[in-house]
Amino acid sequence: MTETNFSVQGYNLVKLLKRLEDATARLEDVTIYQEGYIQSKFALEKDGKTDVVAGSKPSSGSVSSNASGVTTGNTAGPAGEAVSSSKPAGEANKEENEAVKEFKIFIEQNVDPLVKLSAEIDPTVQKTVEYLSNAFKAQLDFIKAAVQSKKPDFASPAFIEGLTPINENIFSIGELKEENRNSKYFPHLNAISEGSPLFSWIAGPTPVSTITDFKDAAQFWTNRILKEFRSTDPKSVEWVQLFLTLFDNLKAYVKEYHTTGVAWNDASGEDFQTVLNKVSNESSGASAAPSDTTGTPTPGGPPPPPPPPPPSVFESGEQSKQQESGGIGAVFAELNKGENITKSLKKVEKSQQTHKNPDLRVSGTVSDKAAPPPKPKKPSTLKTKKPPRKELSGNKWFIENYEDETEPLVIETKIDESVFIGKCVNTLIQIKGKVNAVTVNETERCSLVLDSSICGVDVIKCFRFGIQVEQSLPQITIDQSDSGSIYLSKDSLQAQIFTSSSTGININTPTGPDGDFVEVPLPEQLIHTFVEGKLQTKIYEHAG
């Protein structure tokens, strides 16, 4: 049989077999090389473990690396002790320490220069940036505790305690901004205030996008700084560059060490509350005594977890035992008793019956049973309460975050201006003058009184709202809203009202006797039918 007989569709099988043999030989060479590399690596790790057992202490300054990229510890510490960083059990701690170390470097290279430059611009700007710096230092303590702890419940008191110092500084930034609205450097304060919620990256699964969102919010004000101070104050231009670089470098750090949220140590970490207390004590004592930067672990291991809380003083010992021995099994056991379930009940004497002894009703006897403790409210973690805002930006009014205002918020508008009302609660807003357009978004129990509008009013995701039109407007659009009342004037009866995904909307028109308002509910039930292949929709009417 000739060699050509082994050809299939233009391929020579003999040549293919030779090429397969060559490829197999190369794979064998690679396998032999990898086996030798792995054996040498295990030998190095074994030597490192021997050094640690012999009494060596790890040191962050005595780590070397060989040509193949295997990290080994072959130098001595201050006391001549051998050092090894190849110990598998310490690998996680090394990563944790590196994350903390890099965050310290981030603060030194990005936050501290911003504080120094702010002092040269204005004392108020300096104080605001100092609050920002304190929030970063509080977040450093949080990260220190997190990398040594198991992930806690975000509704737990320990987690809230860890976030409290950060939130306090964020609130201080907002308060300082509101107190200095007439300041020349108000855009600087606004930029910091809009960007300060970036600390919420530690509570979300996508921290990088969170930082990007708040950078975009702050950039609106940094652009205004560049516009107003570019030719008059070069330091403000440099300040903007430092401030925006802070966001970019923080994103790079988070992307490297906390890609999907804070890097908790679920494998071998301690209780978060215990570690947080330890870190807080170390931070408070850092100013009194220099901290040890050698990374030497404390002898004796970590302290034991705190004891469980004592039982409530309002509960008796018998009740505690009953609760411990209870459960679903005890419930079914009681139900299975049948008629015998009432044998344990005490007979109520006539002297103890309130309907036959009126004196007992006056005395108001209190049961021995302790009332169940109130359910704790779910905390808002890092969802900060933004300060109220009422300002004109360009030709657009912003009215946001007002709650329980006793006096109406009155604004004078021009024909080319628009108004945005968002996230207000229990507030009355009055718009005087003819306005271009009005948007009401995510409000609750809010009322709007306006003279007239060119484009109309848009109501989006509002609950229990009220709108009163004094003059005229072309249309009102209502989307995803509930329980609203709209009062039209005689001049606005021709207005068009568009609704979608809304319920409980009532229109009041001055068509009654003596100009009284007549309430007309908007239809919510519709009938859809196909007539000759075409969809027809009619309002469903209840015949009473």
List pLDDT tens digits, range 219-278.
Answer: 889 998 998 898 898 999 999 999 999 999 999 999 888 888 888 888 888 888 888 888
Distance of alpha carbon 266 from alpha carbon 254, whole angstroms: 19
Res 479: pLDDT: 94
485 within 8 A of 502, measured Cβ to Cβ: no
pLDDT at 295 over 50: no
252 within 8 A of 137, measured Cβ to Cβ: no
Percentage above 90 pLDDT, the chain: 37
Confidence of residue 81 (pLDDT cuts 50, 70, 90): very low
Distance of alpha carbon 105 from alpha carbon 88, whole angstroms: 26
- Tell me the average pLDDT across 57-85: 37
Distance of alpha carbon 187 from alpha carbon 174, whole angstroms: 13
pLDDT at 334 over 70: no
Give 63-129 as a DSSP string. Answer: -EE-TTS-EE--SB-TTS-B-----GGGHHHHHHHHHHHHHHHHIIIIIHHHHHHHHHH-HHHHHHH
Q: How far, in Å, are 209, 321, 361, 482 from residue 499 at the CA level?
A: 34, 59, 55, 11
CA neighbours closer than 13 Å in the CB half-sphere of residue 224? 14
pLDDT at 113 over 90: yes
Confidence of residue 297 (pLDDT cuts 50, 70, 90): very low
Distance of alpha carbon 263 from alpha carbon 205, whole angstroms: 11
Distance of alpha carbon 83 from alpha carbon 178, whole angstroms: 55
Higher pLDDT, 257 or 315: 257
Higher pLDDT, 300 or 504: 504
* Strands 11-12, 7-8: pairing kind: antiparallel
pLDDT at 312 over 90: no
Distance of alpha carbon 13 from alpha carbon 15, whole angstroms: 5
pLDDT at 143 over 80: yes
Res 371: pLDDT: 62
Kindly report the CA angle at 375 between 369 and 376, in degrees rounded to 5?
Answer: 135
Res 410: pLDDT: 93
- Tell me the average pLDDT across 456-469: 95
List pLDDT tens digits, range 499-538.
Answer: 999 999 999 999 988 889 999 999 988 899 999 989 999 8
- 169-173, 176-180, 366-370: least confidently modelled range: 366-370
List pLDDT tens digits, range 436-462.
Answer: 999 999 999 999 999 999 999 999 999
Res 298: pLDDT: 45
Single out the residue of 121, 401, 472 nearest to residue 130, CA to CA. Answer: 121
473: its two tokens: 């407007």
User: Is this model's pTM higher than 0.85 or not?
Assistant: no
pLDDT at 200 over 50: yes
Confidence of residue 58 (pLDDT cuts 50, 70, 90): very low
List pLDDT tens digits, range 116-128.
Answer: 999 999 999 999 9
- 17-26, 159-168, 265-274, 338-347: least confidently modelled range: 338-347
List pLDDT tens digits, range 90-112.
Answer: 444 444 468 888 989 999 999 99
Res 19: pLDDT: 76
pLDDT at 540 over 90: no
Query: Residue 452's CB: how many other CB atoms inside 10 A?
Result: 18
| Phi-psi category of residue 315: left, alpha or beta, with phi > 0 → left and psi -120 to 50 → alpha | beta
19: its two tokens: 């090429």
Res 309: pLDDT: 56
CA neighbours closer than 13 Å in the CB half-sphere of residue 500? 5
Name the E strands within 315-417: 389-393, 396-400, 409-412
Res 41: pLDDT: 52
Q: Give the chain's mean pLDDT.
A: 77
pLDDT at 55 over 70: no
Res 80: pLDDT: 38
Confidence of residue 13 (pLDDT cuts 50, 70, 90): low
Domains of the chain: 3-86 (no CATH), 93-278 (1.25.40.330), 389-539 (2.160.20.70)
Higher pLDDT, 334 or 91: 334
Res 66: pLDDT: 38
5: its two tokens: 């007989």
List pLDDT tens digits, range 385-420.
Answer: 789 999 999 999 999 999 999 899 999 999 999 999
Res 53: pLDDT: 38
Element (H, E) at 145: helix 123-146
- 116-130, 190-204, 349-363: least confidently modelled range: 349-363
Single out the residue of 257, 274, 61, 244 nearest to residue 152, CA to CA. Answer: 274
Distance of alpha carbon 215 from alpha carbon 221, whole angstroms: 10
Confidence of residue 314 (pLDDT cuts 50, 70, 90): very low
